[in-house]
Amino acid sequence: MTTDPYIGRLLSNRYQIVELVGKGAMGRVYQAEDVLLGGVIAVKFLSHALLNKKMRDRFKAEARTCAQLGQKTIHIVRVTDYGVDDEDIPFYVMEYLKGQSLSEIINAHPIPLLRFLSLSRQICLGLQVAHQGLKIDNRICPIIHRDIKPSNILVSQDASFGELVKILDFGIAKLIQEDSGQTNSFMGTLAYSSPEQMEGRELDARSDIYSLGVMMFEMLTGKIPLQAETHSFGAWYRAHHSQPPRSFSTANPSLKIPKALENLVMSCLEKSPQSRPQSISEVLRALEPLDQRYSASRDISARISGVLPKKLDFPETSDRTLPFVDEICRSITWPASKPVAQIVFAQKITTSKGAMPAIWVMLPQKEIQNLQVNRLYNKIYKNFLCAMQPHPMLLWITAVCSRVQGQDQGPRWMPCYLDLKTSYGEEMLRLLAEKGQYQVLLFALENPEPCAHTIAVGINASQCSQLKQWAITTHSLVSVGKPTFSKDLLKAELEKLKPKVSEELENDSYPPL
């Protein structure tokens, strides 16, 4: 097994290399730690095979380009430092991006229309800034990416922005300067290159627009619009110059998209640059009415996905049990499949009135006894937070606080996560919405059999309505990322929520339930 010589190295007495995270045409990218200021960053090294002056200059230009563009837009990867290591190999430092490439997302399944519009708009905004150019020698020089493709687009989750798109790899980007009249050799990716790019001609923004058209077609259908006979330069040259792009109905007969969007993508795929949109701004203007047309659906989704209530909601039903439920719960024992530990999980129970949603909680026996003895002073908070993307996930929150003089230890939090793309998660969500209440089953850590105490928690009408809406929405929603991503987002929101809820629960002026 070959050991990577970069792992563990300290660059510029500041950047500690941790692990290899990717390889590209021009080099290798590593995750690293900034030991001076703290935080995780990424370091890109130029490939050993490209250590000539021309490629060194190109690599340095890529770093400079991304550094300047990254200051102008959040949709282009931001470069923060450049240097040369002890072996005279150039590297640059950039933000560390955790997420999925657009190619990974497309390979999983075609992208739904609403998400397509959001991703496409962000890609266009990044390209618009690049095409507007940088000031070089007192001249504004537009920057053409020349390698727009799904693997060069990264989609990550941002705490404030939501789903955030970044354009990567400006390694073959070209500054268009007035005195640049030489013929260029071909550089790019065959399937996404414009006809004029394959001819080695000087390129402008319309070449990137052609590549964008290929990528947008693929985002919607899962297939590229052209198919070469072989994966050779000659075959792709003929395809881009003479083969008509396939129609959306041919690529995906079940796909239903607005005619205006189909026309936009096809116009980007025109063989002649003069027949395409002449700027990214034109593409953005064409996307805008589509955005507005579907904004109502997106607004509903945003409201559904909202994680913080405007007002803290405390249930009318508190520390009391329904007789028929209490009787059954007393005969329930801790599942053999679960560890005897302080955990929380959701599992329905069966009563004479049918299935009832419940969370099962194991606590120290003394804590349960305290809740039983002081039930008149207990306060209960419940809420539901939902993340629709990248994977539908519900956070079911219960917190109990006993406000007895001298016994206040703060709220006991009982968070429970439901994967809404599983039959189990769907059923629990439906039961919560239909029943309008749920049971908290408390088991003693020292003696799990039987259930030690039960608490009935009411769900108000507005929350039931919201739960029903989530059930409808998530049933047809397609997962676009790992469940753990959504779980992490919800965990972060819960941590933001805790201080405010704790203050309300522990406020002596708030009447006990």
Q: Which residues are catalytic?
A: 147
Three-state DSSP class for 54?
helix
CA distances from 127 to 201, 212, 462 (A): 20, 10, 43
Q: Residue 320 has what DSSP assignment?
A: B
CA distances from 442 to 169, 336, 400 (A): 54, 16, 12
CA distances from 393 to 182, 356, 419, 485 (A): 55, 20, 5, 10
Helix (H) or strand (E) holding 505: helix 483-505
501 contacts 315 by C-beta, under 8 angstroms:
no
Q: Which amino acid is at 488?
A: D
CA distance 172 to 185: 11
User: How long, in residues, is the chain?
Assistant: 513
Residue 378's closest CA among 398, 348, 355? 398
Q: Which amino acid is at 89?
A: I
356 contacts 348 by C-beta, under 8 angstroms:
yes
Q: Which amino acid is at 261?
A: L
236 contacts 191 by C-beta, under 8 angstroms:
yes
First to last CA, the chain: 64
Axis crossing angle, helix 259-268 with helix 280-293, rounded to the nearest 10: 170
Sheet strands (E) in 228-309 = none
Side-chain-facing half-sphere of 228: CA atoms under 13 Å: 16
CA distances from 42 to 34, 93, 506 (A): 9, 6, 44
- List of residues 6+ apart from 287 with CB closer than 8 A: 117, 120, 121, 124, 264
CA distance 79 to 92: 7
Side-chain-facing half-sphere of 287: CA atoms under 13 Å: 23
Residues linked to residue 158 through DSSP beta bridges, in sequence order: 162
